[in-house]
Amino acid sequence: MKQGHPGRGQVDLWYVPLDDFGADEQAACLRLLSPPERERHDAFKSESARLQHLAARGLIRTTLSGYRDIAPEHWRFGANRYGRPFIDDSLGIDDLHFSLSHTHGLVACAVAAIAEIGVDVEPRDRDAGLDELAAAVLSPRERLRFEAMNGQARRDFFFTSWTLKEAYVKARGMGLALPMKSVVLDLEALPPLAHFTDPIEDDPSRWAFRSLHLASGHIAGIATAVPGGKPEIVPRRTRAINPPARR
């Protein structure tokens, strides 16, 4: 039974912890890869990066098959000039969109009927290198607040900010062509609010931002230009070979 069309304003967040991504599931994902995906898989020198890529491709293919009557191996994808992937126009699907993210120990995809959708995930426990990252990611006002914090609160502030900003630039389809420091977040507001400084030209009222702490020990940030500004985020823990494809 297919899940059908995501509801208006609904974002399904599918995520897969990789701690039990075993050999059988890896082999099943490998069989789904297109030749370019297989070539990229074989080129990875890092085992962690290879497994993230493999799980992400299995997840998006089997997840999308839970929404449309297309076999996982038959999905085709394109990418814009900034590298953002999308469902190939040849499949004739214009009301289903996705965003992928992966990091150490986790892959995730957000699926919605909304074209401007972005997701990013990061581990909550990383501490090394945050000062250097903060200089590239946080606005001056955000950095002052970050530097006044310590411990887990400091890490959570940074990774909440980073994942939301990364989700926004993904949703815009431009990636790091948009400077993250020009996305200024108010995390004290619930839900978080944003405004934009030069060179980003956008209307912040179009955007909704949501942050989730996942049971896997990761933070997920979601940004979407949903009509009405009130998305319904539905987190769904699953496996890389996502069960909806077998319903």
Q: Which CATH architecture does the domain made up of 10-246 adopt?
A: Alpha-Beta Complex (3.90)
The Cα angle at residue 187 between residues 183 and 188, in degrees rounded to 5: 140
Break the chain into its structural domains and give their ranges.
10-246
CA angle (108, 58, 89) in 5-degree steps: 90
Candidates 121, 149, 137; CA nearest to 210 is 121
- pLDDT tens string, the chain, 247 residues long: the values are 355 667 778 999 999 999 999 999 999 999 999 999 999 999 999 999 999 999 999 999 999 999 999 999 999 999 999 999 999 999 999 899 999 999 999 999 999 999 999 999 999 998 888 999 999 999 999 999 999 999 999 999 999 999 999 999 999 999 888 999 999 999 999 999 999 999 999 999 999 999 999 988 999 999 999 888 789 999 999 999 997 644 3
Q: Are 60 and 100 in contact (CB under 8 A)?
A: yes
- Record the pTM: 0.94
- CA torsion sign for 141, 147, 150, 154 is positive
Q: Is residue 230 packed enough to be buried (19+ CB in 10 Å), middle (13-18) or exposed (0-12)?
A: exposed
Q: DSSP code of 190?
A: S
DSSP assigned state of 187 = T
